[in-house]
Every structure is written in C-alpha cells, then in structure tokens.
C-alpha cells in the first residue's frame, strides 16, 4: 500500500481511491478503541489540534474534539464569538496568529467556500475542512461512506438517492464526488429550485419526482432543509416541502425492504424526515454520529506527522 | 540466506513451546493468548491449537496491534497503518501470554504491554517468542523462547507462516 502522505483534507474531489480505502481501514481500527472501557490511546501525545469554527456546530466540533482527545492530542476550541474576528481581525490573520502558537492540525469550519484551501496555502500546519460554505464537507461524506460500508460489502453498483437541497449542500457535494469515485450510482432528488445547475458535470441523474428517485434506491441520504442559510424562499412552505419531499413511513413502504436511511443532522423532524423514520429500523443516523468520531480519529492520525 | 529452522524444526519448536507453557501453569486456567500483529498472531494460533489438544478445551485468543503505542511515532516519516485489535474477553484478572515471532530490541514488547494495560489489569503478563535474536535495547526477556540466535545488527530474521508468506520456515537474511 502506498503511504498516506497527504497534508490536508480539503475535499473529497481530490482524494484517491487508495487514500479513501486507507482512511476507512484506519477508522475501523479506531472504532475498536472507542469500544474500550478506557478510551485513550497515545499516538498524538504532544500534538495540538485547534478547532477553528467560524460557524455554529455541535456534532462536528464535538466529534473532532473527542477524536483528538482519544488520541491524546491537546485540543483547543475556538469559535467565532470567542475569537478576535469579532474585534475586526481578518480570518487569515486569526489563522496566522493561531499557527504561530504551533498547532499540528487546524480544523476549520467557515461560511466562506474555499477558506480551508486558502488557509492551507498560507499556513504550514495541516488543515482539515470541517465544512466550508456551499463547497464541501469531506469528513461527513467519509463517515457516511464508512457507515454504509458497515452494512454493505461495497458501494460499487449501489443506487444512492440524495434528497433535499442539493444546490446549497456541501454534504451533498462531498458525497457526490466520493460515492461516484467509489462506484455508486447516484440520483439527486429535490425541487427544481434546489437542484444544482451543474448536474451534468457531476455525471449523475436528477429528478424532482421523489418516488422515482427513491423507489429502487439502496441508500437514501436525506439532507437537512437549511432555512437559516438560504434566507430566500426556494419553496413555498415547510408543509409543502414535507408533502412532496419528506421521507415518512408511507413513502418508505414503496422503497426497497432493506433500504438504508442516512441524515447528516441536525434533523428537522417532520420536515425532511418523519420522526418514526428517523428513529426507525432503517435509520443509521446515530451510527453516523458514532462513526464520525472513529473516522476523524483516522484523519487526525494520518495527518499528524 | 540461511535457514534457521526448517518447516519440520519449526513445528517441533512450537510443540516444545506449548509444552513449556503448560508446565509453567498447573492448573492451566484463566489464561489468554495474545498475538502481536502480524506474525505473532499466526504463531499464537499455532500455540493455541497445540494447547487445546492437550487441555481438551477451547482457549481464548486475542489480537493486538501495537502501532498506536510505538515510541518512534514522532520520528517515522509516515504513520503506520493501524491494524485490528481484538480481545475477546475482559483482560481483568487474566494471565496474558503475549506471543510474537521475533524478539529484538524489546520495544514492540514494551508497546504491547502498554496496549494490554490500557485494556484492563491482567493478573500477569508473560512473553512467548519463536526466535530471540539478541540486541535488546530495553530490560525485557521472554518466558518461553523457541530458538536463540545471536544475530548481527544488519541481519534480518524472518519467520514465515503459511497465511502470511505462503510457506513455513525461519530464515536469516545476512547483509
């Protein structure tokens, strides 16, 4: 196996299949560590991870924090409100200031698409993109893939439907690149106003007919309706969205019996997914959260040199 | 390249090691064999088979990957791939016999002991190795040794097993 010598994790678009496989294999080993009574191993002793979150996050930030601490790294959390950005410092200056304190890895979340890439060019430490604007959220896509592979031997040939606001979803974008690379067949489902213009460039199919999209799917990835991010009405009301695109028990009956349901969270119960489906036997939502820690341990481990 | 143990000699050596383990523990109870990835696991499987034949009951066996506990992580270029660790029963109160193919500097064994301790408090830890090649850098010695061989610093003592290498023998590749 070729050694993993990537310095940053910025997108799934530029990951090689062999790198993805190494990340997933490592995540599997780290999942065992998380099942122990004493969840602590020493490989990142003396290394520092800074979580630099310019945008709100509970699960991703906590996930990276637990991942780093389980590996014995020192983890420091900085959020928008608690940083000098609120005093007018530019994001780049804030990042440079932090780097001067000598962290090994900077985990960045921002509203601006491309900020992690910009930081990776300006700084010497490793950068992990923990979600940037409408661009990518590679660690989410990797943990989604890992979660599917716990249930299925391969994703090659699997039909994956991604349902919701595809156009504004970095989770969708990262998943499209990654799943396509690994051989899955993708169908994007959503209202016409929320389907990206570049569907053809992705080499995937798209539809606004939910049943057509999910009927033969092996996996349904439900996206969160991000009303706080949009600010504009792309669809008339939550009720109408729920009626046409929400996944509930009735619609699930028309799907494959062993269909897997994923959702990156946080869930708007009753809008994009009904509570009985979110908590039902097809749902892997909590597996995704648990696997997120193992996957992020793998990334921190592989980047920390 | 020099053959240190032929397949036949290798089998006999492992027979002897199993007998030595049995002799040291009478009655033979609450003992867990733990193979160190990768060839320690193959050796542990063979010892387990031999011991089970003698005691006529199933013996638990664990697999340990020590990469997270290596003392050279900050100096190796790339971090090694972390393989599977799988311990089927609680280590608390058990007698653990670590099994590895070659004992050299002792650093792997130190890492393995730390890894075991992180999983619980064993009653004791012992060490079984197929070849002790000398060259220790830590105060560590084995309880059960298949073969002692005074290797030179550049020598590569290679233990081969069917599942990892396609055949069974021990060779020394000299510089």
In chain B, residues with a C-beta closer than 8 Å to the C-beta of A3 are 77-78
Same domain, A86 and A181: no
Residue of B nearest to A5 (CA): B78
pTM value is 0.89
Residue A10 lies in a domain: no
Q: What CA dihedral angle connects A66, A67, A73 and A75, to 10 degrees? A: -50
Please tell me the distance in Å from B74's CA to the nearest CA on chain A: 7
Please tell me the distance in Å from A117's CA to the nearest CA on chain B: 23
Q: Say yes or no for a CB contact (<8 Å) between B77 and A4.
A: no
Residue to substitute from A71, A301, A302, A304, interface B, most B β-carbons within 10 A: A301
Same domain, A101 and A167: no
Preceding peptide of B99 cis, ω within 30°? no
| Interface predicted TM-score of the whole assembly (ipTM), two decimals | 0.78
- Say if domain B8-153 classifies as CATH 3.90.960.10: no
Q: Say yes or no for a CB contact (<8 Å) between A43 and B118.
A: no
Same domain, A180 and A255: yes
Sheet holding A48-53, edge to edge: A74-79, A48-53, A105-110, A126-132
Q: Which residues pair with B148 in a beta bridge?
A: B132
Domain housing A25: 17-135+289-303
Q: How far is A174 from A193, CA to CA, in rounded Å?
A: 20
Same domain, A277 and A153: yes
Residue of A nearest to B83 (CA): A29
Are A108 and A9 in contact, with CB atoms under 8 Å apart?
A: no
Total domains in chain A come to 2
Please tell me the distance in Å from A280's CA to the nearest CA on chain B: 30
Q: Which two tokens stand for residue A10?
A: 């910025």
Please tell me the distance in Å from B117's CA to the nearest CA on chain A: 10
pLDDT one-digit tens code per residue, A271-305: 999 999 999 999 999 999 999 999 999 999 999 86
Same domain, A120 and A30: yes
Label residues B25-58 b or e (16+ Cβ within 10 Å = b): eeebeebbbbbbbebbbbbbbbbbebbeeeeeee
User: B156: number of CA atoms within 13 Å, CB side?
Assistant: 5
Confidence of residue A43 (pLDDT cuts 50, 70, 90): very high
Q: Say yes or no for a CB contact (<8 Å) between B78 and A36.
A: no
Confidence of residue A235 (pLDDT cuts 50, 70, 90): confident
Q: Say yes or no for a CB contact (<8 Å) between A304 and B118.
A: no
Same domain, A225 and A146: yes
Q: How far is A7 from A138, CA to CA, in rounded Å?
A: 14
Q: Which two tokens stand for residue B95?
A: 């007698």
Give burial (CB, 10 Å; 0-12/13-18/19+) of A115. Answer: buried
pLDDT one-digit tens code per residue, A97-111: 999 999 999 999 999
pLDDT one-digit tens code per residue, B48-67: 999 999 999 999 999 999 99
Residue A162 lies in a domain: yes
Give burial (CB, 10 Å; 0-12/13-18/19+) of A264. Answer: buried
Same domain, A30 and A109: yes
């Amino acid at each position: 196996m070729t050694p993993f010598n990537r310095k940053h994790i910025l997108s799934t678009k530029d990951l090689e299949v062999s790198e993805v496989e190494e990340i997933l294999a490592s995540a599997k080993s780290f999942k065992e560590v998380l099942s122990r009574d004493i969840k602590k191993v020493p490989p990142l002793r003396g290394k520092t991870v800074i979580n630099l979150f310019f945008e709100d996050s509970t699960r991703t930030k906590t996930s990276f924090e637990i991942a780093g601490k389980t590996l014995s790294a020192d983890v420091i959390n900085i959020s928008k409100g608690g940083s000098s950005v609120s005093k007018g410092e530019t994001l780049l200056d804030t990042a440079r200031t932090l780097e001067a304190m000598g962290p090994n890895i900077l985990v960045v979340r921002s509203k601006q698409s491309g900020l992690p890439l910009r930081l990776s060019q300006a700084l010497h430490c490793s950068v992990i993109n923990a979600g940037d604007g409408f661009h990518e959220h590679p660690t989410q896509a990797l943990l989604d893939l890992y979660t599917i592979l716990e249930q299925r031997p391969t994703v090659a040939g699997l039909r994956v439907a991604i349902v919701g606001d595809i156009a504004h979803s970095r989770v969708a974008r990262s998943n499209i690149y990654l799943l396509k690379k690994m051989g899955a067949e993708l169908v994007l489902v959503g209202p016409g106003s929320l389907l990206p213009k570049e569907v053809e460039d992705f080499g995937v199919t798209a539809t606004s007919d939910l049943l057509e999209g999910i009927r033969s799917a092996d996996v349904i990835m439900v996206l969160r309706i991000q009303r706080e991010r949009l600010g504009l009405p792309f669809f008339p009301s939550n009720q109408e969205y729920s009626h046409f695109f929400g996944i509930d028990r009735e619609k699930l009956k028309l799907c494959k019996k062993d269909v897997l349901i994923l959702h990156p969270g946080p869930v708007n119960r009753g809008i994009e997914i009904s509570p009985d489906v979110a908590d039902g036997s097809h749902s892997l939502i909590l597996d995704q959260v648990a696997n997120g820690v193992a996957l992020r341990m793998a990334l921190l481990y592989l980047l920390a040199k | 390249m020099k053959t240190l143990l032929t397949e036949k000699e290798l089998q006999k050596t492992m027979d002897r090691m199993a007998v030595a383990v049995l002799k040291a523990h009478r009655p033979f109870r609450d003992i867990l064999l733990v193979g160190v990835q990768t060839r320690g696991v193959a050796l542990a499987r063979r010892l387990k088979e031999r011991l089970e034949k003698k005691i006529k009951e199933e013996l638990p066996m664990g697999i340990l990957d020590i990469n997270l506990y290596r003392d050279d992580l900050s100096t190796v270029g790339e971090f090694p791939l972390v393989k599977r660790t799988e311990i089927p029963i609680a280590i608390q109160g058990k007698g653990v016999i670590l099994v590895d193919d070659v004992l050299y500097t002792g650093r792997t064994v130190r890492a393995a002991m730390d890894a075991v301790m992180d999983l619980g408090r064993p009653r004791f830890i012992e060490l079984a190795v197929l070849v002790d090649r000398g060259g220790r850098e830590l105060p560590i010695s084995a309880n059960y040794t298949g073969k002692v061989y005074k290797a030179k610093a550049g020598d590569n003592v290679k233990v081969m097993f069917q599942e990892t290498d396609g055949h069974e023998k021990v060779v020394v590749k000299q510089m």
